[in-house]
């Protein structure tokens, strides 16, 4: 699972914080293009993602038809999109995580993140307190600067610097 690999390669002091920071998806929106494969062709199967709640799947398919406008947006948190709360974790328990990477926190058999999801779903105070600590830790991560680092235009991939432009390199912070 790619998510596990990415989490294990983060600084040790960051620990469970990365899982926790995904709780920020209690706010925000995503375009159909970000999750369409889950609705129609999960992992190249030609079928929807089997972990998606069937009622939620039908709602998403109506919003994002297979040959529809992929720029349409929907809330990351379908239950309380305008409230910072622990419902993001409850949504994962009912298989209503919009993004695959979110749902994998709960739906990956044997994942240590299942206990985290269960805890924060039932204990919003624990989520809030842990989220604050994780945000502070993230703020203390030293970015790579100069030619050793860059600000990505798309978080999913390294910038294409074939044009020779270094405009996005971080010079200092």
Region at 43 (left for phi over 0; alpha for psi -120 to 50; beta for the rest): left
Q: Is 26 among the annotated ligand-binding positions?
A: yes
SS3 content of the chain, % helix, strand, coil (to 5): 50, 5, 45
Distance CA 120, CA 126 (A): 6
The string of DSSP letters for 87-138 reads: HHHHHHHTT--SSHHHHHHHHSTT-THHHHHHHHHH-HHHHHHHHHHHHHHH
Q: Is 77 among the annotated ligand-binding positions?
A: yes
- What H or E segment, with its residue span, contains residue 62? helix 54-63
User: What are the backbone dihedrals phi and psi of residue 76, each rounded to the nearest 5 degrees, phi first?
Assistant: -65, -35
Contact present, 89 and 120 (Cβ < 8 Å): yes
Q: Is 160 among the annotated ligand-binding positions?
A: no
Q: Is 49 among the annotated ligand-binding positions?
A: no
* Long-range pairs of 40-45 with CB within 8 A, sequence gap ≥ 24: 40/66
Annotated binding site for heme b: 25
Annotated binding site: 25-26, 77, 80, 85
Annotated binding site for Ca(2+): 26, 77, 80, 85
């Amino acid at each position: 699972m790619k998510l596990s690999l990415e989490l294990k390669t983060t600084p040790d002091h960051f620990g469970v914080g990365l899982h926790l920071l995904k709780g920020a998806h209690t706010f925000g929106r995503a375009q159909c293009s970000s999750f369409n494969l889950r609705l129609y062709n999960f992992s190249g199967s030609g079928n929807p993602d089997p972990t998606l709640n069937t009622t939620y799947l039908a709602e998403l398919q109506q919003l994002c038809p297979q040959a529809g406008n992929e720029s349409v947006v929907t809330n990351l948190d379908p239950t309380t999109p305008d409230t910072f709360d622990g419902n993001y974790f409850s949504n994962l328990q009912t298989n209503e995580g919009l993004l695959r990477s979110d749902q994998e926190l709960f739906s990956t058999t044997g994942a240590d993140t299942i206990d985290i999801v269960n805890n924060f779903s039932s204990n919003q105070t624990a989520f809030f307190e842990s989220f604050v600590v994780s945000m502070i830790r993230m703020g203390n991560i030293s970015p790579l600067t100069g030619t050793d680092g860059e600000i990505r235009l798309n978080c999913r991939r390294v910038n294409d610097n074939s044009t020779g432009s270094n405009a996005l390199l971080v010079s200092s912070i």
